[in-house]
Amino acid sequence: MAALAVTPASGSINARKDFVRVDVTSADPNIRQRIKATLTGAETLVSHEFQPSSDGKHSWFNVMFPDDGAWTLTLYKTDGTVTVATLSVTVI
């Protein structure tokens, strides 16, 4: 099953200051996907469209969260039909 992780860790990310790397693991390498970040239901950030490597990995580099709060990262198929993975992230 696909998973998302962030570096630096949730709870230690500073809004408008820290660059974050979002890592995807165990994703289907045959499916084109995107990552979106939402804060209180409003889609704010969207990654480029990508196809994971043959080992199911991908990284979205230099993400900067514009506001603090409880964000939700969602990995989804580009056709919008299936959510593949989600991750809750606290930004201070």
Dihedral (Cα; 57, 59, 65, 68), 10-degree rounding: 40
CATH number (3.30.870.10, 3.30.300.30, 2.60.40.230, 3.40.50.300) of 3-91 reads: 2.60.40.230
HSE at residue 72, side-chain half, CA atoms within 13 A, is 11
pLDDT of residue 40: 84
pTM of the model: 0.94
Please report which confidence band the pLDDT of residue 43 belongs to, taking 50, 70 and 90 as the band edges: confident
Q: What are phi and psi of 33, to 5 degrees?
A: -140, 170
CA distance 31 to 45: 21
Average pLDDT over residues 1-25: 98
Dihedral (Cα; 70, 67, 72, 83), 10-degree rounding: 160
- Contact call for residues 10 and 88 (beta carbons, < 8 A): yes
